[in-house]
Structure 1
Amino acid sequence: MRYSILDLAPVPEGSTTAEAIASSVALAQMADGLNYHRYWLAEHHNMIGIASAATSVMIGHIAAHTSRIRVGAGGIMLPNHSPLSIAEQFGTLATIHGDRIDLGLGRAPGGDGAVFRALRKTPDMAENFPHDVLELISYLGDAAPDATVLAHPGQGTHVPVWMLGSSLFGAQLAAVLGLPYAFASHFAPGALDEALPLYRDRFEPAGRADAPDGPHFMLAVNVIAAETDEDADYLQSSQKLAFARLRSGKPGKLPAPTRDLSEITPPLERMVGQALRVSAVGNPATVRTQLAQLIDQYKPDELILTGQIHDPEARRNSFRIAAEVLDEIGK
């Protein structure tokens, strides 16, 4: 089974955005030398703790510093953009880097109302999402004879399009459009048990060479691996704090790990626990057991792993352990 990385390009406390981008390059290069299949980055705005706001630029940077691994968006928040502009961006990436580029699409804003205004968008643009997805796919496919607007570059590149989501809407749209589907179970697993069978049961093949013949599902999993369970729990404290602060309206850079989590109140602790329940945290044996259980439960076609770890070296070590574990599971 293929496994990949979703990199939120975290900016740790005490470091700079430039250092965070360099850390992402180093992680991608390590993944390129292992068996990771994809390296995806996500669009977020107005967040000082995430360095991937200009997602297509980051994708180009990572692709230029790797040679084998597929690089893409997990994802582009399409209501923030015109379909033509995204087709041109990803068509350009595919023209430069060949068949290594993926385009995952989301319906969420990737920011708040202030971000919408700064992007010169309005929240109701999400209502056009299904139409915009189809328009974007048409710009990446072969040109229709009567087309009045073509994407250059873009037309004929057939960049694979994925549907991202955490709701029944995304699952149903992915099924109707015959798209591969990645569920955001790493932070919003609430609808996972309903969305997955809906997607699989209602899937209709799109009949395109760049689309799957049957349902293709990717499960997002938080993985924080270390030499001991105690070390992994300590590393995960950064992720727990970051999530609690985000939910409290106090986002910032990725906190340093700590054994004092007293600022996370009981209600927040329950919220964080539910949000991060699709996780594998511990030593290699523990992570192997937890990943095997998730694979057995959801039977994904692919896994995409993410892990918010403050220290870049510890983050690379975690993904190295995860690759070794998944190679063992796959034997």
Structure 2
Amino acid sequence: MSENKQKRLADIPVSVLDLVHILDGKTAADSYPKSLELAQHVEKLGYTRFWMAEHHNMQGIASSATSVLIGYIAGGTSTIRVGSGGIMLPNHAPLVVAEQFGTLASLYPGRIDLGLGRAPGTDQRTAMALRRNIGSAGEDFPTNVQELQTYLSSENKNSPVRAVPGEGLDIPIWLLGSSTFGAQLAAILGLPYAFASHFAPASLHAALKVYRDNFQPSEQLQEPHAMACVNVIAADTDAEALRQSTSLYRAFLNVIRGTGHPLQPPVDSMNGLWDASERYAVSQMLRYSFVGSPATVQEEIQAFVDETQVDEIMVASTMYDHTARLRSYEILADLFKKVERKTATQEV
């Protein structure tokens, strides 16, 4: 018999990953107000976190200056947690990250999350331009995480190098990953762990097992806490959701082809836009994408929670139509409430 307890969707905190897409025919300046509007919208709907990710040299993503955007979003909201999903630590000196997030946490106390990744968030040539030296970036990641933790700790007050602001502030650190490397490190350091299953699903189960089996309690976290990011495209009908999802498929088709384009509008059919091998590759990357009507999405997300036993879900909704994206997050929020009400009725 399985030891897993079934988790109701109502028991799972749900958050947002916004990639701050640049739409075809638009500019980055057009994207930022839309992200703020989305953050304000999901805050009202009761979402837990609003994260943005560091990407560089990508024509379709406007979140390269992630810490700046976090300040913009936090300044326009009041309760939702705002953070990075994530900051690619090898691109930055740990002291700089400590100071930036110390500043954010001072401006918006109790609302800032610091998610860290070890990937470059770009191509190798751009990584070189960012770092100047990329030879040992991955190997230094554990040391750099611990250095960052030191700068943020109150015990560092007697050090000759201090993060001001930052030192002694409550800034939760998350480790992000798409393999077992980050899971192992998060377990050893006793940190919450977020897996990028929205684009790299292959190692999800292995990473969750490594994390849970090797977790060591820390001052920040007493028990393992795992979050998975998934894609959700929800609409009032399955047909409309499938149509909206073609923008997501086209975005990942660009990734596979190595072509950088702004986010393209949905189409009625992907036929003729990809060949069989490309379709297969995209479907593998987007395995954990839940597309459909409320009933369809509810069933698929519940199955995912049952399968993974994750403690939180983060949702990326790559949609060209901003109104449709707002509606998708409305449907998802309402789904969780419906599950709660239905269960309560059954228990009476």
Shorter-chain TM range is: over 0.9
Aligned with 2:103 (options 92, 99, 123): 92
Match of 1:181 in 2: 193
The answer to whether the aligner puts 1:251 opposite 2:260 as a matched pair is yes
8 A contact 1:69–1:100 mirrored in 2:
yes
The answer to whether the aligner puts 1:137 opposite 2:152 as a matched pair is no
The alpha carbon displacement at 1:299 in A equals 1.1
8 A contact 1:32–1:69 mirrored in 2:
yes
Aligned with 1:212 (options 192, 206, 221): 221
Amino acid paired to 2:22: V
The alpha carbon displacement at 1:259 in A equals 2.3
CA 1:236–1:98 in structure 2 vs 1: closer, same or farther (change >3 Å)? same
**TM-score of the superposed pair, with normalisation by structure 2:** 0.92
Aligned with 2:57 (options 33, 46, 60): 46
The alpha carbon displacement at 1:145 in A equals 5.6
Structure 1 runs not aligned, ≥5 long = none
Match of 2:344 in 1: none
Name the CA distance, whole Å, in 2 between partners of 1:329 and 1:10: 31
SS across alignment from 2:216: coil
SS across alignment from 1:231: helix
Residues 218-271 of structure 1 deviation map (CA, whole Å, 9 limit, x = unaligned): 011100001110100100001101101111110210111012422212111111
The alpha carbon displacement at 1:327 in A equals 2.5
Amino acid paired to 2:155: A
Q: How does 1:229-308 map to 2 (within 5 A)?
A: 229-261=238-270, 262-308=272-318
SS across alignment from 1:223: strand
Match of 2:84 in 1: 73
Name the CA distance, whole Å, in 1 between partners of 2:229 and 2:131: 31
Aligned with 1:225 (options 231, 234, 237): 234
Name the CA distance, whole Å, in 1 between partners of 2:88 and 2:181: 15
Name the CA distance, whole Å, in 1 between partners of 2:309 and 2:28: 37
Name the CA distance, whole Å, in 1 between partners of 2:267 and 2:282: 16
**TM-score of the superposed pair, with normalisation by structure 1:** 0.97
SS across alignment from 1:144: helix
Amino acid paired to 1:171: A
Structure 2 runs not aligned, ≥5 long = 1-11, 342-348
Amino acid paired to 2:164: H
SS across alignment from 1:103: strand
Name the CA distance, whole Å, in 1 between partners of 2:67 and 2:210: 31
- Per mean C-alpha deviation after superposition, the further-off stretch among 132-141 and 121-130 is 121-130
Name the CA distance, whole Å, in 2 between partners of 1:151 and 1:144: 9
Q: What percentage of residue pairs aligned between the two structures are identical?
A: 48
Equivalences, count: 328
Name the CA distance, whole Å, in 2 between partners of 1:41 and 1:286: 27
The alpha carbon displacement at 1:117 in A equals 2.4
Residues 34-72 of structure 1 deviation map (CA, whole Å, 9 limit, x = unaligned): 110000000000011111110000000000000000000
Match of 2:7 in 1: none
Match of 2:6 in 1: none
